[in-house]
Amino acid sequence: MTDSKSALRIDVSKGGPGSGKGTQCANIVQHFGYTHLSAGDLLRAEIKSGSENGTMIQEMIKEGKIVPSEVTIKLLQKAMQESGNDKFLIDGFPRNEENRAAFESITKIEPEFVLFFDCSEEEMERRLLNRNQGRVDDNIETIRKRFKVFLESSIPVVEYYDSKGKVRKIDAAKSVEEVFEAVKAIFTQKYEKAAAV
Three-class SS string for 55-75? HHHHHHHHCCCCCCHHHHHHH
Was 147 annotated as part of a binding site?
no
The pLDDT > 70 percentage for the chain reads 89
pLDDT for the residue 1? 39
Average pLDDT over residues 38-43: 89
Nearest to 29 by CA among 92, 117, 90: 90
Rounded CA-CA distance 112/13 in Å is 11
Average pLDDT over residues 159-171: 93
Was 166 annotated as part of a binding site?
no
99 and 19 in contact (C-beta within 8 Å)? no
pLDDT digits (tens, 9 = 90+) for 21-32: 888 988 999 999
Rounded CA-CA distance 135/121 in Å is 19
Was 174 annotated as part of a binding site?
yes
Was 20 annotated as part of a binding site?
yes
pLDDT digits (tens, 9 = 90+) for 97-137: 999 999 999 999 899 989 999 988 888 888 888 876 655 55
CATH code of domain 8-171: 3.40.50.300
Was 21 annotated as part of a binding site?
yes
* pLDDT tier for residue 40 given thresholds of 50, 70 and 90: confident
Cβ atoms within 10 Å, residue 7: 9
pLDDT for the residue 148? 83
Is residue 173 scored above 70 in pLDDT? Answer: yes
